[in-house]
Amino acid sequence: MNQVFSNAADAEEEIVGCHDDRGMVDAASRFLVAHLPPLDPNVETVCHVVEEIINDRSLTRVEDVADRCGIRDRTLQRLFHRYVGASARWVVKRYRIYEALEQLAAGKPAEWAMLAQDLGYYDQAHFINDFKKLVGRSPSEYVKI
């Protein structure tokens, strides 16, 4: 631990010297907070982009997301790869499938082709395939549950 934090031994002594769990947690928290890395502005950018995807259901394509957020497509892809661990396309698709689930849960009648189009899918087959991958069953099977 001293290889990573030069004052780790002092922190350990303070933590172990506490008389209760709360004191130990507080001491450890102070130590860790003091050693936090600097804030990365890209984290805020990615959080903003994800919020846009969540809140604006008309964003169905990565190009639309990039345009809305003023970020080049390739830059957006790199940010998502590094900070989200998934592509922006994957995130958009997942939130659109969540939207479909919300509509189905609300009892809205299911016209699969229209729903697929509303969610930004090229065709019904792609929508059903993505739905099945995420949910584990087709939309029609899901509705029957």
The two tokens of residue 127 are: 């929508």
The mean per-residue pLDDT over the stretch 44-51 comes to: 96
**pLDDT of 1 over the 60 cut:** no
pLDDT in tens, 4-37: 788 888 889 999 999 999 999 999 999 999 989 8
Q: Model-level pTM?
A: 0.72
Return the amino acid letter for 85: G
Confirm if 28 and 38 have CB atoms less than 8 A apart: no
The two tokens of residue 74 are: 């390739």
pLDDT in tens, 76-118: 999 999 999 999 999 999 999 999 998 888 887 678 888 898 8
Angle (CA) 115-120-126 rounded to 5° is 75
What's the confidence (pLDDT) of residue 118? 86
Confidence of residue 57 (pLDDT cuts 50, 70, 90): confident
